[in-house]
Structure 1
Amino acid sequence: MFTTEPVLELEQADIYQGTKLVLGDVSFQIHKGEFVYLIGRTGSGKSSLLKTMYADLWLQHGRGRVAGFPLDQLKPRDVPFLRRKIGIVFQDFQLFFDRNVEENLKFVLKATGWTDKAKMTARISEVLMQVGLGTAHKRLPHQLSGGEQQRVVIARAMLNEPMMLIADEPTGNLDPGVSDQIMGVFKQINNAGTAILMATHNYDLLNKFPGRTLRCQDGQVIELKG
């Protein structure tokens, strides 16, 4: 079904961390297939904004919709369904180090309601091919480089074919050459139609891979004009 509805929309949203207002009156939209950077100093509210989008923090004031779910009316029982529609990529990989790559991915599929073993195996192979790790099924995380671990994390985020990927400093722990490779993976995913919102400190990436840019600054989110 083709829709022109934004994948993500915030309207006069106030973003709180506990009782502290970190960003006020935030309004922007992200559409299918867009690639958007989120920049700003440490403590400027980037992570709080991302956490609000995947319902780790509740939207207390204003309106928001992500992947068709109204953030301002979200019920706790809806959160797992929202998170199936968006993939989340963290800086710290959060992989199970006692399980191989395939078992790490299978855990997520089972947790999100998959039961058919053949379909799970096929989907795991698809996402690993997508991130360039087609032969890594049986390897343990400690047998992978940092860049390869991050590819596994991206594959994990893509398992349920999300409408959008939210990435919080995904290249933060990687050296520049590896960061560029990981950006290449994100760009491929984006070119296939998945919207991406990426928080980053790495301004080299913005120059090498230009995209729409939002900045958290002085308690606001402003769009930088290219």
Structure 2
Amino acid sequence: MSELIVELRDATVMQETQAVLQGVSFALEKSDFAYLVGRTGSGKSSLLKTLYADLPLLVGTGTVAGFALPRLPVGKVPYLRRRLGIVFQDFQLLPDRTVAENLLFVLNATGWKGKARKQQRIADVLDRVGLSSAANRMPHRLSGGEQQRVVIARALLNEPTLLLADEPTGNLDPEVADSIMQLFTEINYAGTAILMATHNFQVIEKYPHRVLTCQDGALLDSARN
């Protein structure tokens, strides 16, 4: 049996009081990699925020990583997010802390115990993204591509079942974007589902996967075409 990581049925995605997407139905399995595309303001970021419970799901049904989104209690949201990895375009690294301290902050916030265990986990994820030597560097001393790799390492700390990425190559030059996509491919092959919002059609062409398109208030799915 395939394992469903995401399943939405007849969902309405809200942005404040306005419905930006209606009748949204799609599912992602553990091995899936899908792109989320559409014009600015078409609902991509709002859909991602709904999946990690930053926006409530008020109409329709949905589950993410085993959590039912409708009426999800506020106290359960951190537990949902521990099952997810979230990669933002603008990095959101703490500028006054080293790379390792940024990662340690997340481990402490998500309940990890044991100094040695935490140090080992930080070493493991930095090695996975090719930044073993960067643990003691400050974020501003890193290139844009290196900072994005730190963000991906941070997203991998809790061994997520789903990686949500919002324009992860948006601020990167093509060569660096290509290296990030190779990293995402490796992460997906290792068993993590990926949903990536992007405007970069060169990336989609080079690394073809299923495409979900936000258009005219609906979500179109290339898997159904």
- Fold similarity call, TM over 0.5: yes
Aligned equivalent of 2:103: 105
Cα distance per residue 1:59-102 (max 9 Å; x no partner): 01000000000001310000000000000000000001111000
**Distance in 2 (alpha carbons) for counterparts of 1:16 and 1:149:** 31
Amino acid at match of 2:209: G
Aligned equivalent of 1:129: 127
Give the TM-score normalised by structure 2: 0.98
TM-superposed CA distance for 1:115, in Å, is: 1.9
Aligned equivalent of 1:216: 214
Aligned equivalent of 1:206: 204
| 1:7-46 alignment runs, 5 A limit | 7-46=5-44
**Distance in 2 (alpha carbons) for counterparts of 1:171 and 1:5:** 28
Structure 1 residue runs of 4 or more that deviate by more than 2 Å after TM superposition:
none
| 1:1-226 alignment runs, 5 A limit | 4-224=2-222
**Distance in 1 (alpha carbons) for counterparts of 2:193 and 2:132:** 24
Q: Please list every run of 5 or more consecutive structure 1 residues that lacks an aligned counterpart in the other structure.
A: none
Cα distance per residue 1:10-65 (max 9 Å; x no partner): 00000111110100010000000110000000010000000000000000100000
**Distance in 1 (alpha carbons) for counterparts of 2:95 and 2:26:** 38
Give the TM-score normalised by structure 1: 0.97
Cα distance per residue 1:113-133 (max 9 Å; x no partner): 012110000000110011111
**Distance in 2 (alpha carbons) for counterparts of 1:135 and 1:191:** 25
Q: Please list every run of 5 or more consecutive structure 2 residues that lacks an aligned counterpart in the other structure.
A: none
Q: Secondary structure at the match of 1:9?
A: strand
**Distance in 1 (alpha carbons) for counterparts of 2:67 and 2:73:** 10
Cα distance per residue 1:151-200 (max 9 Å; x no partner): 00000000000000000000111111100011111111001000000000
- CA RMSD between the two structures: 0.9
**Alignment size in residue pairs:** 224
**Distance in 1 (alpha carbons) for counterparts of 2:82 and 2:203:** 28
TM-superposed CA distance for 1:135, in Å, is: 1.1
